[in-house]
Amino acid sequence: MIDTFKNGRPKVEGVPVEVLWFVAVAIIATWILLRTRVGNWIFASGGDANAARNSGVPVRRVKMGLFMFTAMCAALVAILTVLDSGSTDARRGFQKEFEAIIAAVIGGCLLTGGYGSAIGAAIGAVIFGMVLIGLSYTAIDQDWYLVFLGGMLLTAVLFNNIIRKRVTGER
């Protein structure tokens, strides 16, 4: 356990507690995906739900569990945001699901399902965040942000198709 101050900040200077949670969730998710039966079920349910169901995978329970895990992660982010800023805003999470999809695809997850990694999605989120923060330091008008998002998604989808063809052996 990492020792923290009373306000929740870690005693490791310069490392925000949000980063520690991000790394911890990514490591735990990677371990679950690669080392447990549930991780195997997640890949099977994402790849072909009907085939997974016929193989004995409880697809509905797996999907329900993933939705619950997603809600738990969203609540964790909301709590960390409120603790960091001292207040909340309903529009703070506006279009974050779009950004999460882009980050996951940049990290190598297939949009069709059945292939990807938590570490890849985490690296995709870091890359996306660095580009987004870097965009604010340029002289580019911030109204072009949505155009940038669309371009990132287009690039990610094209990259996704290359990965899918490589994984499936498709020509």
**Domain ranges within the chain, ordered by starting residue:** 1-87, 95-171
pLDDT at 35 (0 to 100): 94
Residue for token pair 């900040």: 9
Which of the residue ranges 11-15, 28-32, 84-88 would you say has the lowest mean pLDDT? 11-15
Pairwise CA distance, residues 73 & 101, whole Å? 15
pTM given for the model: 0.75
Percent of the chain with pLDDT over 70: 94
For the residues 42-70, what does the mean pLDDT come to? 92
pLDDT at 72 over 90: yes
- Angle formed by the axes of helices 59-85 and 17-35, nearest 10°: 170
Pairwise CA distance, residues 86 & 79, whole Å? 10
Three-state SS at 4: strand
Q: Provide the pLDDT confidence category of residue 12 given band limits of 50, 70 and 90.
A: low
Q: Which of 60, 68, 67, 160 is nearest to 114 (CA)?
A: 160
Q: Which of 30, 75, 52 is nearest to 61 (CA)?
A: 52
Q: Provide the pLDDT confidence category of residue 115 given band limits of 50, 70 and 90.
A: confident
